[in-house]
Amino acid sequence: MEQAEIGLIGLGVMGSNLALNIAEKGNRIAVFNRTPARTKEFVAEAGDLAGNIIGCETIEEFVAAIRPPRPIIIMIKAGDAVDQQMELLKPHLSANDIMIDAGNANFHDTIRRFDNLKDSGLTFIGMGVSGGEEGARHGPSIMVGGTEDSWKRVEKVLTSISAKFNDDPCVAWLGTDGAGHFVKTIHNGIEYADMQMIAEIYGILRDGLGMSAAEIGDVFGQWNKGRLNSYLIEISEKVLKATDPITGQPMVDVIVDAAGQKGTGKWSVIEAQNLGIAATGIEAAVAGRVLSSQKKEREAAEKIFGLPKPAEKPHDGMAFLADLESALLAAKIAAYAQGFAVMAAASKEFGWSLPMPTIAKIWREGCIIRSQFLDEITSAFTKEPDVANLIVTPAFSQMVKDTDAALRRVVSYAALSGLPVPALASALSYFDSYRRGRGTANLIQAQRDFFGAHGFERVDGKEYHHGPWGSGASIY
């Protein structure tokens, strides 16, 4: 039997769709799944594509079915499962074979796996894949980390299966070892912020203005034709207009308001903190999911405090809807600017030289945060690849100037109505902090010096000084 050019392990949601995508693009692929019944089922359901697929029930059979040197994609549950799978695979591989972890790995694990294989003759690629089930099947955005040589060996097949924005493939080599998985993690962090902000706007429309799910869906449908055009707004409209087949209620109204999370948002926040970058939108989104999951506590608290009466409805409903649209854009700018700032800091820290314009480019199609907005980010970074913060580029500073007043009005309305908008409010505070040359940390420095003799810099000199705090202060 003719050998396959590539192998794939893990026929779950992502792996099975990626395998069909690879087969459809004319590549012969061998597949293996821990539970063999799934492999049989997958091949049986592959239809016309089955001719390009070799289903294997054992690892030995799987490895033998791929032409050396073998590129092998591992698309399984992230974490220990990947280490276990790699250990099972390793003894069967030969020099120059490449193991490609395509799951949502923590980039620290990717660096460790990359280093562990360095002297083995085998190669490791850590590859972020975004786009969910549909993306995997018809064209995901792919973020590759590893050696440049290993990238060149898989570039052709990855380019063939990736999403395309116009004719540009949404796949790129972003740097060594953990670069690809780091960028995927921040992609997901931004995804969390974007989703949280959309949910907060939904909350204002539902609980402040009293709109039905379908009416809110219409609003998002309108916005999707404008500056907020994006996959997440598009699916929000579809979700809000869907009906529960069991009760006939809007589907969204019968879903428990407790969000799951698998780790990438939390990792984004941890890395941002480690790198000293304020990623307030992502932090708010992760905290928002945590609070959402404390449903019983929230219900008990509502019994104690009740809910505040919503503020008086805005007199000009249409103007307020326009404010909400602008507010969402303003907050989105803050979250994306923060995400890119985290990547810039990581690039320096880990020596990756992450290409910001390329990252924005490969997020324009295929991935969950794909949008028109990312094309504008691509243009801004192409003009100024090393800019400190996206919000100071000419295009984005103008957008902020055009929208920040609306964000202020929306956050004020939400605060007066007792409606939680942690991500929108964090974006406003971020702008207000970032653009204010003289802040209030002088008082914090004085307090630190008072209780801990930490010293402070004076506005009229560079050396550290202590204040005249008198008795009771720790320096006396």
Ligand X SMILES: NC(=O)C1=CN([C@@H]2O[C@H](COP(=O)(O)OP(=O)(O)OC[C@H]3O[C@@H](n4cnc5c(N)ncnc54)[C@H](OP(=O)(O)O)[C@@H]3O)[C@@H](O)[C@H]2O)C=CC1
Ligand Y SMILES: O=C(CO)[C@H](O)[C@H](O)COP(=O)(O)O
Which residues carry a binding-site annotation for substrate? 104, 130-132, 187-188, 192, 262, 289, 448, 454
Q: Interface with ligand X includes 59 (CB under 6 A)?
A: no
Q: Is 138 in the site for ligand X (CB under 6 A)?
A: no
Burial track 343-374 (b if 16+ CB lie within 10 A, e otherwise): bbbbbeebebebbbbbbbbbbbbbbbbbbebb
Q: Which of 132, 314, 418, 455 binds ligand Y (CB under 6 A)?
A: 132
Instruction: Say how many residues make up the chain.
Output: 476
Considering beta carbons, is residue 34 or 409 the nearer one to ligand X?
A: 34
Identify what 76 binds: ligand X, ligand Y, none; CB under 5 to 8 Å per kind: ligand X
**Minimal distance, residue 108 CB to ligand Y, in Å:** 17
Residues sharing a CB contact under 8 Å with residue 233, sequence separation 6 or more, in sequence order: 198, 220, 223, 224
* CB 32, min distance to ligand X, A: 9
Binds ligand X (CB under 6 A): choice among 77, 90, 108, 138: 77
Q: In terms of Cα–Cα distance, which of 196, 418, 445, 227 is closest to 329? A: 227
At 164, the amino acid letter reads: K
# binding residues, ligand X (CB under 6 A): 23
Give the DSSP H/E element, type plus range, for residue 31.
Answer: strand 29-32
**Location of structure tokens 């006939």:** 248
Report the catalytic residues.
184, 191
Q: Give the Cα separation of 31 and 37 in Å (integer).
A: 12
Both ends of the chain: CA-CA distance in Å? 85
Between 130 and 292, whose beta carbon lies closer to ligand X?
130
* Smallest gap from residue 193 Cβ to ligand Y (A): 12
Cis peptide bond upstream of 69, omega within 30: yes
Is there binding between residue 375 and ligand Y (CB under 6 A)?
A: no
Q: How many helices, marked H, and strands, marked E, lie in the chain?
A: 19, 12
Instruction: Extract the tokens encoding 138.
Output: 């018809």
Site for ligand X contains 117 (CB under 6 A):
no
Size of the site for ligand Y (CB under 6 A): 11
d(CA 190, CA 196): 10
Cα–Cα distance for residue pair 96/117, rounded to 1 Å: 11
Task: Find the part of the chain contacting ligand X (CB under 6 A) among 5-13, 64-72, 223-231, 390-398.
Answer: 5-13
Is 200 a residue that touches ligand Y (CB under 6 A)? Answer: no
Taking CB under 6 A as the criterion, the residue among 4, 8, 11, 72 binding ligand X is 11
For residue 464, give every residue at least 6 positions away whose Cβ sits within 8 Å of its Cβ, in sequence order, or none.
455, 456, 457
Q: Counting contacts by CB under 6 A, is residue 170 touching ligand Y?
A: no
- Closest approach, Cβ 128 to ligand X, in A, equals 8
Longest alpha-carbon distance in the chain: 88
78 near ligand X (CB under 6 A): yes
Binding residues for NADP(+): 10-15, 33-35, 76-78, 104
The distance of closest approach from Cβ of residue 14 to ligand Y in the complex, given in angstroms and rounded to an integer, is 8
Distance between CA atoms of residues 430 and 334, nearest Å:
7
* Binding residue for ligand Y, selected from 104, 110, 176, 358, defined by CB under 6 A: 104
Mask for 206-245, x = binds ligand X (CB under 6 A): ----------------------------------------
The answer to the question of residue 33 lying near ligand X (CB under 6 A) is yes
191 near ligand Y (CB under 6 A): yes
Site string for ligand Y, 64-103 (x = CB under 6 A): ----------------------------------------
Residues 236-275 that bind ligand Y (CB under 6 A): 260-262, 264-265
The candidate with the shortest Cα–Cα distance to 146, out of 188, 189, 102, is 102
Measured from the CB atom, the residue of 85 and 358 that comes closer to ligand X is 85
Single-letter residue type at 297: E
Task: Identify the bridge partners of residue 457 per DSSP, sorted by sequence position.
Answer: 464
Contact call for residue 76 and ligand X (CB under 6 A): yes
Contact 53, 31 (CB under 8 A): yes
Q: Could you give the count of Cα atoms lying within 13 Å of 311 in the half-sphere of its Cβ?
A: 15
Note the residues at the interface with ligand X (CB under 6 A).
10-15, 33-35, 38, 75-78, 81, 84-85, 103-104, 129-130, 132, 262
Residues that bind ligand Y (CB under 6 A): 104, 130, 132, 188, 191, 260-262, 264-265, 368
